[in-house]
Each structure stands twice: as C-alpha cells, then as structure tokens.
Amino acid sequence: MKSLIKNIALSTLVTLLAVSPAFAAEQAGNSGLLSWLFLGFCGLVVVGQLIPACVMAIGIAKGVFSPADANQQA
C-alpha cells in the first residue's frame, strides 16, 4: 500500500515538473475580445447546467426527507 501511494506521489510530481515550463511561457495580458467572449460563453454553459442540477438536487432531497405516506398515491 505504501509503494502504491509512493508511486502516485512520484508520478504526480514528475507530471507537474514537466508541465511547469508551459505555464511559465504563457502570457495572460494578450487576450483579445474573442477570447473573453469564448470564456463568457463557457461560463454561461456552466451556469446553464448548474441551474437544472440544483433544481433536481432539491427535488431529490424533498423526496428523501418527506414522510412515507406523502409518497403513496391512492
């Protein structure tokens, strides 16, 4: 078990060390209007997916915590 955790930690470290030069070369100041529009669209998609998910989670919680008699129909 210890060797598995050690291997996971080592592979994570190697991956992060290999990717860090790519993050260093990136410049954030040159984003154009199209980039911001794309990011805004992605944000709208995420919010559009969160709203139905929250409504469904509330419905599931109501179903789980409601009394058993209320769920049965005559």
Domain ranges of the chain: 33-66
Structure confidence at residue 22 (pLDDT): 60
> Using one digit for the tens of pLDDT, what is the confidence trace for 43-54?
999 999 999 999
**The CA-based dihedral angle spanning residues 65, 67, 71, 74, taken in that order and rounded to the nearest 10 degrees:** -170
The phi and psi torsions of 39 (rounded to 5 degrees) equal -65, -35
The token pair at 36 is 């911001």
In this structure, are residues 63 and 72 in contact, taking their beta carbons and an 8 Å threshold? no
User: Which residues of the chain register pLDDT less than 70?
Assistant: 19-30, 69-74
Predicted confidence at residue 66, as pLDDT, reads 85
Residue whose pair of structure tokens reads 């769920």 in the numeric block: 71
Place of tokens 């199209």: 34
